């Protein structure tokens, strides 16, 4: 059985999201075209709801869901959109909101896919930027927290569909792991 070690408290998470929300608000301030926040399901939904309530903007909201085909616990090899946005993104400023950027493949795929649609701009915000397993160059524009390695849960992030509702961000310590 795994156990959890808190790395960012609930208060640190909410303070940091408020800071990033103000960076985002500043960045889109005064744009004429509509702004659309695209939530990447399932993991980003908690961060998305927090961010949305803290920005000084009135973005449209859309949801996408990705299906990745690859072996078990290995990072996503092949990614496809299993749920797409329901509106045209033509001429709009699009902000992809992700839970975590790990290998970078998901964000890389989404940038490619949504970038084909005549957007006015396309940027990425994530709750966590994980550096260890980066495979593709997919640097997010607005990052709340950076971690070097390990597996993290809470604030929407799961391990085998558990722990999404925790309000702190925790590192998972697997029992065979040295502490």
* Of positions 43, 59, 140, 154, contacts ligand IMP by CB under 6 A: 43
Q: Which is nearer to Mg ion, 35 or 96 (CB)?
A: 96
Q: Which is nearer to ligand IMP, 120 or 159 (CB)?
A: 159
* Of positions 17, 43, 89, 125, contacts Mg ion by CB under 5 A: 43
Look up tokens 């970038």; give the residue. Answer: 115
Backbone angles phi, psi at 74, to 5 degrees: -70, 150
CA–CA separation, 64 vs 88, rounded Å? 13
Establish if 140 lies at the interface with Mg ion (CB under 5 A): no
Burial 65-95, CB ≥16 within 10 A → b, else e:
ebeeeeeeeeeeeebeeeeebeeebeebbbb
Distances (CA, A) of 169 to 9, 101, 107, 112: 7, 15, 21, 29
Query: Which residue has the CB atom at the shortest distance from Mg ion?
Result: 43
Q: Give the relative orientation of helices 45-54 and 10-28 as an angle to the nearest 10 degrees.
A: 60
* Of positions 101, 110, 127, 166, contacts ligand IMP by CB under 6 A: 101
* Of positions 37, 93, 151, 169, contacts ligand IMP by CB under 6 A: 151
Of 2-10, 14-22, 86-94, 95-103: span binding ligand IMP (CB under 6 A): 95-103
Binding site for Mg ion (CB under 5 A): 43, 99
Q: Which residues bind ligand IMP (CB under 6 A)?
A: 43, 75-76, 98-106, 130, 151-153, 157
């Amino acid at each position: 059985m795994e156990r959890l070690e808190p790395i960012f408290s609930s208060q640190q998470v909410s303070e940091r999201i408020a800071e990033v929300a103000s960076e985002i608000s500043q960045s889109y301030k005064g744009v004429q075209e509509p702004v659309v926040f695209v939530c990447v399901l399932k993991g980003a939904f908690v961060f998305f709801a927090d961010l949305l309530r803290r920005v000084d903007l009135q973005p449209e909201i859309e949801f996408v869901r990705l299906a990745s085909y690859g072996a078990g616990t290995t990072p996503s090899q092949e990614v496809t959109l299993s749920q797409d946005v329901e509106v045209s993104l033509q001429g709009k400023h699009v902000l992809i909101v992700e839970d975590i950027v790990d290998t970078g493949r998901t964000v890389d795929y989404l940038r490619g896919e949504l970038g084909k649609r005549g957007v006015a701009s396309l940027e990425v915000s994530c709750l966590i930027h994980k550096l260890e397993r980066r495979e593709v160059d997919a640097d997010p524009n607005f990052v709340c927290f950076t971690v070097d390695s390990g597996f993290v849960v809470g604030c929407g992030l799961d391990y085998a569909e558990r722990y999404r509702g925790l309000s702190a961000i925790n590192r998972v310590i697997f029992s065979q792991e040295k502490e």
